[in-house]
A = this chain, B = another copy of it.
Amino acid sequence: MKARAHSDQCHHPGPALDPAGKEKLLGRLRRIEGQARGIHRMIEEDRYCADILVQISAVQESLRSAAQVLLQGHLRKCVAEAVRSDDSARTEKVFEELTELLGRYGR
């Protein structure tokens, strides 16, 4: 995993999320971590597989929401910033990344 800080990439002051948005997202992630541990335990305890599947689908829903929040921030901050920069190499790079992301998230 590449360790790019947000600001290196985006050349704009501050991250794509304001402090409140970041705190909220961290809260979501804590909940997701708890859900993952819960599923681990359900498997250990040989719980009914249909119930485990419902829980997995709940984590996926939580991840989808988190991804939507990040993607919106990414578009409104990083992508918009790159477009406004009139630096065509930078803009192209951001759009290529976005193509790859939308391929991953698209259905």
Q: Name A residues whose Cβ lies closer than 8 Å to a Cβ of B.
A: 1-10, 15-17, 22, 25-26, 29-30, 32-33, 36-40, 43-57, 59-60, 63-64, 66-68, 70-80, 83-84, 91, 95, 97-107
Contact = CB atoms under 8 A, between A and B. Distances in A.
Nearest to A35: B36
A38 B36 CA distance: 13
A71 B47 contact: no
Contacts of A9: 48, 50
| Interface of A, helix, strand, loop or mixed by DSSP | helix
Given A46-B15, A60-B60, A101-B54, A106 B67 contact: yes
A105 B104 contact: no
B76 A95 contact: yes
Contacts of A100: 54
